[in-house]
Structures are given as C-alpha cells and as structure tokens.
Chains A and B, each alone.
Chain A
Amino acid sequence: MRRSAFRRSRGDAPFRLASTGAGVVLLAIMAAIGVFLVVKAIPALQANTSNFLTEKIWNPNAVEPAFGIGALAFGTVLSSFLALVIATPVAIGVALFISHYAPRRLAAVLGYVVDLLAAVPSVVYGLWGVVFLVPFMRGPSEFLNTYFAWIPIFGGDQVVGKSMLTASIVLAIMILPIIAAISREVFLQAPKTQEEAALALGATRWEMIRMSVLPFGRPGVISAAMLGLGRAMGETIAVALILPATFGISFEILGPNGNSIAANIANGFGEATAVGRGALIASGLVLFLITLVVNMAARLVIARRKEFARAA
C-alpha cells in the first residue's frame, strides 16, 4: 500500500500518551488522598459528641470524644492573615527596590539573597523565633498594650512573648522572601514602553511605578501573596514552637492565646488514639478546604479586571 504523504507523524503519539498519563496519575493521586482522608475522618466525626465546626475544645482522646475545629481554624486564619498584612507591603518594597531602584550590581546580589532566604527551612525560622523573638517581643508588646490598648487587638490583661503576634511575625518573615521574589520577577517584566510613556509625561520614578509598574504587576503580586498565605496556613513547626496551644478564640493578639490546625496536628498526632487520629485528619481536611477557598478568591480578584489588565 502506498504511504500517504499526509500521514500523522509517529513521534506525536508517545508524547501525547506520556503527558496524558502524567495528568491522569496526578488526578488519581489527588483523589486517593481525598478518599483516604474522608474515610479515616468519618469514624471520628461519628464518635464526636460535640459540633465539629463550632466547638472550640479539642478532646478527641477522651472516652466521650468532644472536639471542634473552631479555635484551630480561627488561629490558622488569624495568624496567616496577620503575617500577610505584615509581609506584603515590605515584600513589595523589597521587590521594587531590587527591580527599579537599586544599581544593577546591588540588585543582582540582593536578588540572590532573597532567593536564598526563601530556601531556609522553616524549622530554622521557628527556632530563631523561640530563642530570640519570643523574649524580644515582650518589651514592644507591653508598649503596645500600655499605649494602644484602645485598638481592640492590642487590648487584654495578659501580655506574653509566646503570642499570636510573635507567631505572625515569624510567619511574615518566612513568607516575605517568596512574595518578594515573585513580585520582583513580575515588576521586571513591566513593559518598557509603558514606563517610558509615564516618564515622558513628566512622571517621577515613583509616579512612573504607580502608573505603569504596579498596575501591570497587580495580578502577579496577588498570586505571590496567595502563595505566601498558603505557606503560612500550612506552616507547622514554626507555629507549633511558638503558639501556646490553647483552645480559645480571641482577637487579643498579645495574650497567651492561639493555636493552628497544622501545629495541633504536629503536637497531637503522636499520642492520639484511633479516634484522635481521625479527628486530626478531619482538621487537615478543613485546612485543605480553607486553602482552596483562599486560592479561588484570589483567582476571582485577578479575573475581575481582566478587561483592563491586557498589556499592550
């Protein structure tokens, strides 16, 4: 038989098979993890004598298990959110300095340093937090409590070093490099034609950044912040070392309150009963859902102004 001149090329098929296979395997692994978590969590949730979503205490190893995600989810969200509020402005500043202000050689060195910071293991930050920052924070915390107690988050009768604020600062330092590194990459890609358009109108450097670099970089910065938030919420060791592992809901971030889902799993898994493990797994599922919601919200924010976001 004559071979057609328009035959499909052979090399395509194996590659398509391989890439499709990889995609399918990934989905299968995800599904398997999900099923595993749900199956392990259900018996514990059935044994629970309290409301899993609203209960604050965590007592799954008792004869009559009573536990809820309330305080843990609150602590996770609050500490991560505070960390994001502290880290994002600083990270944007660092990124802008590297991309638009620093002389080229200094910028290259600083870029490496930021990348290096992003690679430091979280336990190192945690240890630094416990050894240095916890004692150090007592003074500033008391200052805030004395003079700014009229701001509700700085109120409260008790002020300690192992507080939500200290944990948030450590988290902020941990996520700062990743936010700064991604933001820098985005700012560097701001179109030169846009920057020149602003300069030619008589914009100063800061005005040029506000007119052309920041609007261009906005979706990228939001993505970077969300990556940082995800890392802060999943962070285990640093938070477990610092937070006092209490089960209460309080906005007073200077007091001895706070815990997080991930830290609670790390602290409790070793001596947990079967029901206790199931309970921890259920809390892990909640953490997963929170991260998912945060990421979807970020995508919505990015997509909202798409019509305007198209670069020339």
Chain B
Amino acid sequence: MAKQIEVSGLDAYYGAHKAIEDITMTIEPRTVTAFIGPSGCGKSTFLRTLNRMHEVIPGARVEGKVRLEEQDLYGPDVDPVSVRRTIGMVFQRPNPFPTMSIYDNVAAGLRLNGRFSRSELDGIVESSLKGANLWNEVKDRLHKPGSGLSGGQQQRLCIARAIAVRPQVLLMDEPCSALDPISTLAIEDLISSLKTDYTIVIVTHNMQQAARVSDKTAFFNLAGQGQPGKLIEMDDTSRIFTNPGMKATEDYITGRFG
C-alpha cells in the first residue's frame, strides 16, 4: 500500500514569485519524513506540490517532476483529482465538514469514490476511527456533528477521514500546531502507529516533534526575504539532530536562528 515518492528538480511559483527552487529528494515508503525549517522557507508549499494541492491557489504552478513509484504525477494525462485520492492530506487547522455528522465526515471520501453498502461503510468508518484512535471517544455519538468535538478530536477525525480512502501516502501540514500538548501527544502516537501502513510526510515547526516522530528529516531554508526556499539537506533524523552535514542545519536546530 505504501509507496515511494521521488522528486526531481521541482520549482513552485505563486504567480511570478518563485516560492521553492530545484528540490530533489526521495521519500521512502513506510517511514515518517519530517520537513523542518524557518517560516516562509517553502516547506508547506513543497508538501502541497506532492498531491497537486498547490495548484488550487489561483496563479500557482509547478515545474519539475514528482514520481509515485515510476508514475509522473504531473504527466499530461494525469487527473489531479485521482492524485489527491491516492495521496491524502491533513491540514494545519482541523477542518471537518461542519454540516456533516462524525460518521458522514469519515465516509465523505468513500462516497466520492464509489458505491458502498451500508455495512461496508459502517465497517470502514469504524476501522478508520479506530485507526485514528478516536473510536472509543465518539462511538456513541457518530451521528452528532463533527464540529462539536474538541480541537484534538477534530484533528483525529480529519486523520480518520483521510485514511478512510486507503491512500498510499499521508501528507500532514503542521497537524499539531493548533492543539494542546496532550492532543499533540495523541497525534504523535497515532503517526507512529500509522507508519506501518502508510508513507507519511509531516511539516512541523516543532523540532522536538520532528525528532520524536520521524525517521528522516529534511531541512529547508531560504537565502533571504523574497528568495525561493531550498532543500539544504536530508538525512536520517538521528543524524540531522546529532551530527548534521551543513552549518545552516546545525545553527537552526540548536536555535541560533529561525
């Protein structure tokens, strides 16, 4: 189920502004890869190019290649809609559909993909909520609105919604930045357990979090205001945090800038 992602020579633009430049990296299957770097360095932009969410912003475009197991995601006959069905995403702010119940939120993606019988849906909703560590908290109120949950529960609901469609890859854009420490811990535990089934990419501002949950870490930086962000280095997380190859990485993780 989990697949490898290969990126080569990728640039992303907002109109005339180049946000990231010449990024090349390989993201291994069944691992957690963390993107770290100062604000504005393009790590979220880069994440959004991986499932073609970047281009939904008016004027935004991408150059370069992203391959998911030999398949070019930016190929001429590739439908971005089907790319997004294969590569799921969890956002910074929890965004369950406010008019839908908890059950319908989890089933939303499935209902887009095709017909499921009631019992199939029930089964997938239950397993997805269990997978997101939320089942025990919501099993008695599946048909209440998802907006009634706490922030941490809402975020886990969004993770359940994303994994319900069985994606190959799960992208997480600062999934804990709006949450309290206990909810953050719950999400981090969840990320570790999801790793056995999915390729996970997480953007985070929290370096302890990157160190705790990820196997690989990529450090992004930008030369100055208005300059495009670049990948500085990518390596095993333990190595990045103990013995980084580049001076800029060391300065950033030891808190000397950023």
Contact = CB atoms under 8 A, between A and B. Distances in A.
A309 B85 contact: no
Interface of B: 51, 53, 56, 58, 81-82, 84-86, 88-89, 91, 93-101, 108-109, 112-113, 145, 147-148, 154, 158, 161-162, 165
A201 B56 contact: no
A312 B89 contact: no
A215 B81 contact: no
A310 interface: yes
A202 B112 contact: yes
Interface stretch (A2-10, A136-144, A192-200): A192-200
B84 A196 contact: no
A212 B105 CA distance: 11
A132 interface: no
Nearest to B93: A193
Counting chain A residues whose Cβ lies within 8 A of the other chain, the interface size class is 20 to 34
Contacts of B154: 312
Contact of B95 (A197, A202, A218, A307): A197
B97 A197 contact: yes
Contacts of B108: 198, 201, 211
A201 B165 contact: yes
Given A307-B145, A310-B145, A310-B147, A202 B97 contact: no
B112 A197 contact: no
A196 B99 contact: no
Given A207-B112, A310-B98, A312-B96, A202 B91 contact: no
B98 A194 contact: yes
Given A211-B108, A215-B99, A200 B51 contact: yes
Contacts of B56: 195-196, 199
A196 B101 CA distance: 18
Interface of A: 104, 191, 193-204, 207, 211-212, 215-216, 218, 305, 307-312
A216 B85 CA distance: 23
A14 to B, nearest CB: 41
Nearest to A309: B99
B99 A305 contact: yes
Given A310-B147, A312-B147, A201 B112 contact: yes
Nearest to A199: B56
Contacts of A212: 97
A203 B97 contact: no
Given A196-B56, A308-B99, A201 B109 contact: yes
Task: In the A-B complex, list the 9 residue pairs whose CB atoms are closest, starting with the nearest.
Answer: A202-B85, A215-B99, A200-B89, A201-B109, A193-B95, A197-B95, A202-B84, A308-B99, A308-B145
A311 B154 CA distance: 13
A200 B112 contact: no
A199 B91 contact: no
Nearest to A205: B81
Contacts of B165: 201-202
Nearest to B101: A308
B84 A194 contact: no
